[in-house]
Amino acid sequence: MPESHIDLDVREPDAETPGRRRPLIFAAVGLLLAGSVACGLARRPPEEPETAHLVEAAPLWTAAVDEALGEPHVASFSEETVLVTAQRGLVAYDRATGAVKWQRRLEELIASPYDGELNRDAAARVATVVGDAVVLDAQWALEAGCSDYLVLDLATGAVRFALKPGDDAQWFQGRVTSGGIVSVDCDRDVCVTSAHDLADGSVRWALTHAAGTQMAWPARYPAWEHHAPGGRIQPDVAAVGDEPSYLLFVDPERTAHVEAVDIATGELAGEWTTDVDTASNYVVVGGAVLDARPGRVRRIDPVDGGELWRIDTFREDSLLSTDGVLLAGGKLLDSAEDGTRTRWIDLADGTAGPAYAAEHPVVLRSGVGVVSDAAGVTGVDLLTGTTLWHTAVRPGPWETFRERDAFADDDTLVLVGRLGAEQRATRWIYTVDLATGHVRGFGGATAVGHDGGQALTSSFPWERPTEYTVRLVEVG
């Protein structure tokens, strides 16, 4: 039987440490936010949109970024700490003062496809803040042979433990949840699913299944909003649903026997037999277990697999394919492939809202969708399709708002703007009030993260391209 290895007080491996490397596949799914206007000078400040107010907000604090760490990419927040993932490592700042708590270089752990430096998308996947812990996921951009998970203390940066596959493992994967790490370690005969406490890596529960048993995983990179670094809108996981309450195990050798396991306790919540032999039909959103097939979706009871509701969908293929599951406020988005019909399905009872025509929106947890075209950015009520507001945020020529540069909470959308050519641009941050569409602009920086009305911004140093500073600014 395979066993995962827990190593306490792990040292950073040497750069020469060999390790098996897994292919990294990054899908780019989602809406491109774009806008443009007539030509202008590349380094002049943008013309102010009609609804915008450009302000110079005094920062709460300003701090330097060690040159060895490179460009700051994304930030995660706790009440006391701001954790920045940069090109070559991590740095933790005191949220109140900006003092550096600790920093850690990672370039010797970064897998070869990145040549020792993380890009912005990879940086958003590597480090996840959960409570008072930082989980480094080696399966995204670090050398998997070093350790598949490395867990640090958020306050001090000290290593708590490393989670590695067993010596005979042929397949090893995991997911980070609010309760810890759930891992699956398989050899030729059996797979062991274990839940590990983030304090010390101890096993809270473990289950054994025959090799070949499939599991309906939570989405690979945070599909539930509270894990998204700094409220970042994910470009390749179009989902903002609640963290799943169950794991589903499908055994095709037992006539597609399904077990629903409570993810918190590891206890069997229910079991049933289904007519499919794959777990890919299922997704779990909070306590709701959904079974999606081409042209229809249904919710089933996790105790016995009984059908709670069923509805035919506008989408001809499965709602779980390609774009993932678009969710906001307990609703499931059902949208035809050509964008001519869109509606929301209530997960509680399967009732559908009115249909309307809409382009594929960026879905925010608040129930607001964001769409854009050359005329600007528009907010849409995703339940009715009603336009809530429109703002002509068009800072300058060659301007593109990209999802990887966007952040949101229930009240505010933060977008990074650029004026001029990509590599010689004056960068601006625009905040949009999701209720009114009111815009404010903050000049001279790029956004790294957003939380609780505060944004962490980074300088864009043309003259000294290795000398970055970060600022914490009130933008609410």
Predicted confidence (pLDDT) per residue in 120-150, tens digit: 878 887 888 999 999 998 876 777 666 688 9
Q: What pLDDT score was predicted for residue 470?
A: 93
Domain count, the chain: 1
Domain assignment present for residue 287? The answer is no
Predicted confidence (pLDDT) per residue in 243-287, tens digit: 788 999 988 777 678 999 999 999 999 999 887 767 778 888 788
Domain assignment present for residue 269? The answer is no
**Token pair recorded at residue 82:** 């701001």
Q: What pLDDT score was predicted for residue 66?
A: 94
Domain assignment present for residue 105? The answer is yes
Distance CA 1, CA 185 (A): 9
Strand, helix or coil for residue 327: strand
Distance CA 82, CA 67 (A): 18
Predicted confidence (pLDDT) per residue in 420-463, tens digit: 444 444 557 788 888 888 888 776 667 888 888 898 988 876 65
- Residue 109's domain spans which residues? 5-240+364-474
Domain assignment present for residue 387? The answer is yes
- Least confident among 35-49, 85-99, 224-238, 384-398: 35-49
Domain assignment present for residue 288? The answer is no
Domain assignment present for residue 439? The answer is yes
Non-local CB neighbours of 16 within 8 Å, separated by 6+ positions = none
Domain assignment present for residue 321? The answer is no
- Residue 393 belongs to what H/E stretch? none
Domain assignment present for residue 344? The answer is no
pTM summary value: 0.80
pLDDT band for 223, please (50, 70, 90 cuts). very low
Q: What pLDDT score was predicted for residue 425?
A: 45
Q: What pLDDT score was predicted for residue 132?
A: 95
Q: What pLDDT score was predicted for residue 113?
A: 67
